[in-house]
Structure 1
Amino acid sequence: MVEGPTGAGPDAPARALPVLSAGSPTGSAADWAARRRDEVHTLVAEYGAVLLRGLGVRSPAEVAEAAAALGIEQMTERERFAPRRSHAPGVYSSSAWPADEPMCMHHELSYAAEVPGLILFGCLTAPTSGGLTRVADSQQVLRMLPPELVARFERDGWLLTRMYHEIGVPWQEAFGTGDRAAVDAYCAAAGLDHEWLPDDRLRTRQRRAAVLPHPRTGVPVWLNQAAFLNERTMDPAIRDYLVDVYGPDGLPFNTAYGDGTPLSAETVETINAAYRAASIGEPWQSGDLLLVDNLRMAHSRDPYEGERDVVVILGNPVRFAGHVLS
């Protein structure tokens, strides 16, 4: 049974995720996923995401089996912005993030040369309260943003600068290797300018398109992390401390317009406000799966209380023409 989302009109954001209930399935979650695979992907194509309820997944291995049954081609994460545990190749914990702080809307790895087309989340343990994985349709977000802001990003793209040092994810973890030559090769292939600094530090810069056509529909989507990875999204006290200790160029990450012009606080808030207006979500139940079109739907995480264990699989990588800008 499918519980579809409702909205006030064709351009109004839906207020609930479509939920496909498994009822009392016979066999494993993977068996059910294999039988309903076409239906699941049809719902994702229509709505951008679908929650699969009642499958009772209890382990990372069961989530991986369901992903395979759904035809998801797992990919290895590179350039992660927050720590994760790796349960198995291509099977990760959700990003480590303080439970009492929200994680803002973002498209996973939208700054990488190869972007996950799909994300499968598996909830092994639902929190006592909060902790929703919300999604926002970036087609709607794009329509909500001021035309002049969109035009600027379409013209210049966006710039991400990262500093790998003792604060944040070490470069060895982000790139999956301790071999500097391998990092050099990755950066050259992925369009990253990089600079090795004293004390085993690494600085990278990458310029990316901010608006791209969805590869299946051709509809433009607001596909970037310009707001989420901007310094103004940090807690001001933490940002001020990091700037005081490491200098303005020492922040773990920061974003700008593609020509290097800093983003104003108003610009960052305008983008985040559009995400909030388009945000939808459904409280987790243990055993749920959530399949998301990562190219169309941004996702976030609410603060929560209690234990929360969500497994993540990134899959079906996509390379966009015109995404990597020089």
Structure 2
Amino acid sequence: MTQTDIWAPLDIEAEGVGGPEELTARLRDMGPERLAQLLTEERGLVFRGFGVTPDHLDGVLDLLLPNRLAYVHGNSPRTKVGSNVYTSTEYPQEFTISMHNEMSYAHAWPARLAFYCQIQPGSGGATPVVDAALWLDSLDAEVRDAFAGGVRYVQNLHDGYGLGKSWQDTFETTSRQDVEAFLEPTGAQWEWKADGGLRVVSIRPATTRHPATGAEVWFNQADQWHPAGLGDDTAAALAQILPEDDLPQNVTFADGSPIPAEYVAQIRDRGLEHAVDVDWRTGDLLLIDNILLAHGRRPFTGERRVLVAMSD
């Protein structure tokens, strides 16, 4: 791919004075079928210059995401701030968040994500996005072949106190029965532990195909769930506290064999290498196809408040 061939999301900019009303009118004129077609063709759409405020956000999201989903079984730290609208992440701002497709570890995942910039960062803080088919193609054949059998995810969710997320926050309920009803059709195995925590084990494929285009894409979070993805110092510190299989989250190959750290580094680095940054200004929105595009986050300074919502 040459420099002139680099893909980027499609920018859709306000005309004239713009305003949120212009955006909602243009989305209504486009209609849901054309919006779906355009998103599949472009993979990502950036809406700039419309000055969307929090007061107008619900109306815009209703058009971009016809069926907003709750972040149930999500593993990232977030705060719910509206009707199935969440902070995009509360991961420390000095760190990069590597590329991933949202909830690719789960039995079902959102088809679309919409990000909204309420407060632009002082510096940095872009949302990088990468073509997930390109990401797959960029990996060495040895790595792709090793993952052909899929991956095994392990979650250890505490009962309100401990490392990582609690099962109550993860499943947005305090009812064990509700959790079991959610997990029953997913093919996961689970057990309630003596300390009140929950252990969930799921075997998932490492790739998937887009339902409309048929494109095969890299679609797992092995690099984010693997101890090597934490960095040497953090991984070493956790190893002093917990055995690897008791970490808040961990991943192996589907047969339980370990994933080499060098594979994890290659997956992480190639995803970031091929990513395109979407820089934020207050009021911007980014809509992505969650199968065709993976996303992450660059480090930043300042406040940076980006919200996210998702739909099937």
Query: TM-score under structure 2 normalisation?
Result: 0.92
Contact 2:20 / 2:52 at 8 angstroms: preserved in 1?
no
Give the direction of change, closer, same or farther, for the CA distance of 1:207–1:22 in structure 2 (3 Å limit): same
- Equivalent residue in structure 1 for 2:11, among 13, 19, 32: 19
Contact 2:11 / 2:48 at 8 angstroms: preserved in 1?
yes
Contact 1:64 / 1:313 at 8 angstroms: preserved in 2?
no
Hey, what's the Cα distance between the residues in 1 that align with 2:178 and 2:65? 30
Give the direction of change, closer, same or farther, for the CA distance of 1:13–1:211 in structure 2 (3 Å limit): farther
Moved more, 225-234 or 36-45: 36-45
- Equivalent residue in structure 2 for 1:230, among 226, 230, 249: 226
Partner SS state of residue 241, structure 2: helix
Residue 52 in 1 paired to residue 47 in 2?
yes
Hey, what's the Cα distance between the residues in 2 that align with 1:36 and 1:134? 27
Matches within 5 A, 1:1-326: 8=2, 13-14=6-7, 16-23=8-15, 24-25=17-18, 28=21, 29-37=23-31, 40-59=35-54, 61-154=55-148, 156-165=149-158, 166-316=162-312
Moved more, 251-260 or 22-31: 22-31
Q: Deviations over 1:47-74 (max 9, x none)?
A: 2111110111121x52231121235321
Letter in 2 for 1:174: T
Contact 1:18 / 1:49 at 8 angstroms: preserved in 2?
yes
Hey, what's the Cα distance between the residues in 1 that align with 2:121 and 2:19? 27
Displacement of 1:32: 3.6
Hey, what's the Cα distance between the residues in 2 that align with 1:227 and 1:283? 24
Hey, what's the Cα distance between the residues in 2 that align with 1:252 and 1:309? 26
Hey, what's the Cα distance between the residues in 1 that align with 2:28 and 2:91? 33
Hey, what's the Cα distance between the residues in 1 that align with 2:223 and 2:230? 10
Hey, what's the Cα distance between the residues in 2 that align with 1:126 and 1:40? 26
Contact 1:13 / 1:279 at 8 angstroms: preserved in 2?
no
Hey, what's the Cα distance between the residues in 1 that align with 2:137 and 2:42? 17
Letter in 2 for 1:20: I
Letter in 2 for 1:158: V
Contact 1:128 / 1:305 at 8 angstroms: preserved in 2?
yes
Hey, what's the Cα distance between the residues in 2 that align with 1:276 and 1:296? 15
Hey, what's the Cα distance between the residues in 2 that align with 1:35 and 1:55? 16
Hey, what's the Cα distance between the residues in 1 that align with 2:35 and 2:18? 15
Hey, what's the Cα distance between the residues in 2 that align with 1:233 and 1:240? 12
Contact 2:65 / 2:112 at 8 angstroms: preserved in 1?
no
Q: Deviations over 1:59-94 (max 9, x none)?
A: 1x5223112123532111111112211122311111
Q: Which runs of 5 or more residues in structure 2 are unaligned? A: none
Hey, what's the Cα distance between the residues in 1 that align with 2:108 and 2:20? 35
Q: Which runs of 5 or more residues in structure 1 are unaligned? A: 1-6, 317-326
Moved more, 43-52 or 118-127: 43-52
Hey, what's the Cα distance between the residues in 2 that align with 1:27 and 1:107? 28
Query: TM-score under structure 1 normalisation?
Result: 0.88
Hey, what's the Cα distance between the residues in 2 that align with 1:170 and 1:235? 23
Displacement of 1:21: 0.7
Give the direction of change, closer, same or farther, for the CA distance of 1:52–1:27 in structure 2 (3 Å limit): closer
Hey, what's the Cα distance between the residues in 2 that align with 1:131 and 1:160? 29
Displacement of 1:27: 5.5
Displacement of 1:170: 0.6
Letter in 2 for 1:195: E
Hey, what's the Cα distance between the residues in 2 that align with 1:8 and 1:192? 43
Displacement of 1:149: 2.0
